[in-house]
Amino acid sequence: MNEPKNPRGEETAGKTIGEFVAEDYRTAGVFEKYGIDFCCGGNSALSAACRQKGIDPALIVLEIEAAKTDPVARSENFAAWELPFLADYIVAVHHGYIKENIGQIVSHTHKIAEVHGPRHPELAEIAAMFEKIAADLAAHLREEEEIFFPALKRADSAGKAGKKPAQQDVDAIRGDLIRLRREHEEVGDRVHAIRHLARDFTVPGDACNTYAVTYKQLKEFEDDLHKHVHLENNILFLKAERDLIPSLV
């Protein structure tokens, strides 16, 4: 495959998926269309991701450029936000969504597994897998809200004041950057497994209303998680490493 170029003549094949989406979130729809992971897999180069999927990268580049010109879709410039503001946004929007919805989704997955399990045995596995996701995310959100984000904000404030961050905050940030990325990969793998078991959330002909609602909720949960993890892995974590870690000595 030839290295594709965008209209400005810049080579794009080596650019990472996460960089495209961080620059303009409207491009996420292109990667979703082709089943390319832009959150946990955001550090993959476009060329590598296309090669894995057997897709011509030049085609993806054309669709990316078209997505960027969409006058209807609105794209927030998350990459330009300061770390404290981005952290607060993630807690308010994405942590808030999880806390508000995850309990009901757990309940619904168990309910449809109980009622429809004899004809659809995959539902029991989906219910067990989502319950594990819920338990893991509860601890994950607490770690971010009580340890990681506060340490990030204190270190950012210290840097702006020309001071050295506290060693406790330095250690918390470094340790959590490794741990949180790993946990994102683990929950992402489970969400992808649920999509596979649910056959891309296709509702069978014998499904009840709760069955259909549950699959809709699982799809919405996946969509929110993708954006949530993208904001952290591809923007917040990278900004922390670029802007804070070099000064944390």
Contact call for residues 229 and 169 (beta carbons, < 8 A): no
Q: Which two tokens stand for residue 18?
A: 């996460």
Identify the sign of the CA torsion 80, 81, 82, 87: negative
**Percent of the residues in the chain that have a pLDDT greater than 70, as a whole number:** 91
pLDDT level of residue 247 (50, 70, 90 thresholds): low
Secondary structure of 44-89 in HEC code, one letter for each residue = CEHHHHHHHHCCCHHHHHHHHHHHHCCCCCCCCCHHHCCHHHHHHH
Which 3 state secondary structure label does DSSP give 16?
A: strand
User: Mean of the pLDDT values across residues 169-178?
Assistant: 93
Topology (CATH level 3) of domain 1-75: SP0561-like (1.10.3910)
Total residue length of the chain = 249
Q: CA neighbours within 13 Å on the CB side: how many for 139?
A: 10
Compute how many other C-beta atoms are within 10 angstroms of the C-beta atom of residue 73.
Answer: 12
Q: Which band of pLDDT confidence, cut at 50, 70 and 90, is reported for residue 7?
A: very low
Q: Could you give the 3-state DSSP secondary structure of residue 165?
A: coil
All CATH 1.10.3910.10 domain ranges of the chain, comma separated, are 1-75
CA distance 230 to 240: 14
> Per-residue pLDDT averaged across 206-224, rounded?
95
Q: What is the pLDDT of residue 54?
A: 87
Q: Report the pLDDT value the prediction gives residue 208, as an integer from 0 to 100.
A: 94
Distance between CA 136 and CA 132 in Å, rounded?
6
Tokens encoding 61 = 């580049």
Q: Is the pLDDT of residue 241 over 60?
A: yes
Q: Mean pLDDT throughout 238-245? A: 84
pLDDT digits (tens, 9 = 90+) for 51-107: 888 888 888 888 888 887 776 556 678 888 999 999 999 999 999 999 999 999 999
pLDDT band of residue 42 (cuts 50, 70, 90) is confident
Residue 5 forms beta bridges with which residues? 11
Closest CA to 108 of 141, 130, 138, 139: 130
For residues 118 and 25, the model is more confident at 118
CB crowding 126-144: b at 16 or more within 10 Å, else e: bbebbbebbeebeebbebb
